[in-house]
Structure 1
Amino acid sequence: MPAMAAVLFDLDGTLLDTAQDFHRVINRMLAEAERPAIDYDSLRSQVSNGARAMVSHAFALSPEADDFPRLHQQLLDDYAEQLLISSSLFPGMTELLRWLEETRTPWGVVTNKPKRFTLPLLAALNLDHCGSIICPEDVSTAKPDPEGLLLACQQLGVAPERSIYVGDHLRDIEAGRAANMCTVAAGWGYLNTGETPEQWHSDHISHQSTDLQPLLHSLLQAG
């Protein structure tokens, strides 16, 4: 395996812990609909599946239901107004990103989260200076298609086979594998209930966010 030279991250559930903000917005919507609140852990398991999955799970609705488009749009609009009340970097990520920058290791973000949310979040956390930020609007096909990862590698000026992708969903690992990248499963992320990162067959697994820096150090020094 060649020495790794760049690191790309998924956003929600990998780099940023955004679940509490989604949980608050969803529960307010449920209260308005006179429905019972949803448990935090139950909703957390759906965050990386996207807004549609969260609405479907919280309201027990099929996407084909008459009310679904309205509720989906309400979640997006309400969330846009409350992006950073509780959201923050996962433990250890501040130190990890500082280390990457001190060692001049290119890094970036490849996410299925729309720019409407991604760019303000990263700007508020002073992370928008990274070498590449790829959102669904930047590609013709989102993950698990590798297009976004390949574009990010091009922007960073590093070959995909010398790049690492860290993500907390099967589609992240599938996208990284399709791009011929080294894949790391983020075991601390928003996994589906009953799911384990071992099921994804990534190249590596980091079960705690604070364990990621030593793993990346070993991969960036290898070769």
Structure 2
Amino acid sequence: MSLTPRAIIFDLDGTLIDSLPVILRAFHSVCAALDLPKPDLRTAQGFVGAGVPVAMTRLLAWANADPSLHGRAVEEMEAAYGASPGDNEVYPGVREMLARLQEMGLPLGLCTNKPEAPTRAVLDALELGPFGAVVCGDTLKLRKPHPDPLLETARRLGVAASDTLYVGDSEIDHQTAAAAGIPFAFFEGGYLNAPLGDPPPALVLSAMSDLPQAFTSEMVRKA
């Protein structure tokens, strides 16, 4: 399939970085503070992707805990996860891939459900970027899979939504791209919790380093 994007937007967790071990550690901190059972890694993966408030709702439901603990759980989660941003791991080939796309003249954006404070901390600690636009889970009133965060990222990049490509790893990312009318590139190495469904991805990536090979500098339409 020939792709000629004018900008590329990325998800963060499960796409550019492997954050699940750090997230699991933060979940365990929440559980210790609230005297709840602790999920294992596979169970915790099912909680992530839709933002911290939803993750805490899922955690409390799994633990059969009082829903009134939700506010405290969110506070504990944000504090615990934000304590060690440098412990997240960048996926192999990501740095080289981002550098190559920048060499090709493509504006890069980031659209994540992670709150802005830990997102910025992770980007700084791991020296990822630069990104011309960063839209986080608390930037707007709505989070993914609503299309607004992705559309806002494209707007901030100064590129029409239809001229961008969204790269993500989950059904949430796929649903967001479909709702926004943006082609989707699916990274197989992330945190998929459910089948993608229709429409099929424009690209399927087994490694993030494969992305620049999908188009050459001659194919890319300049912004």
Q: What's the TM-score once normalised by structure 1's chain length? A: 0.82
SS in 2 for 1:221: coil
Whether 2:66 is the aligned partner of 1:68: answer no
Preserved CA contact (<8 Å) 1:5 1:220: no
Are the equivalent residues in 1 in contact too, given 2:50–2:143 (CA < 8 A)? no
The residue aligned with 1:10 is: 11
Contact in 2 for aligned 1:109/1:132 (Cα 8 Å): yes
Following superposition, the deviation at residue 103 of structure 1 comes to 1.5
Structure 2 partner of 1:211? 210
User: Aligned pair in 2 of structure 1 residues 121, 49: CA closer, same or farther (>3 Å)?
Assistant: same
The one-letter code sitting in structure 1 at the alignment partner of 2:106 is T
CA drift at 1:209: 3.2
Report the Cα distance in structure 2 between the residues aligned to 1:129 and 1:189, rounded to whole angstroms: 22
AA of the residue aligned to 1:75: M
Identity among equivalent positions (%) equals: 26
Contact 1:153 1:160 in 2 (8 A): yes
Structure 2 alignment gaps of length 5 or more: none
Aligned partners of 2:36 and 2:65 also within 8 Å:
no
- Equivalent pairs counted in the alignment come to 219
Instruction: Please list, as runs of the form range in 1=range in 2, the aligned pairs for 1:13-24 lying within 5 A after superposition.
Output: 13-24=14-25
Residue in structure 2 matched with residue 221 of structure 1 by the alignment: 219
Unaligned runs of 5+ in 1: none
Q: Distance in 2 between matches of 1:137 and 1:32?
A: 24
Aligned to 1:148: 149
2:145 maps to a residue whose letter is P
For residues 199 and 170 of structure 2, what CA distance do their matches in structure 1 show? 8
1:134-183 CA-to-partner distances (Å, cap 9, x unmatched) read 12333342222222222222222222211100112223222222322211
Alignment of 1:114-133 (within 5 A): 114-133=115-134
Q: What is the RMSD computed on CA atoms of the aligned residues?
A: 2.9
Shift of 1:96: 0.5
Q: 2:51 — aligned with what?
A: 50
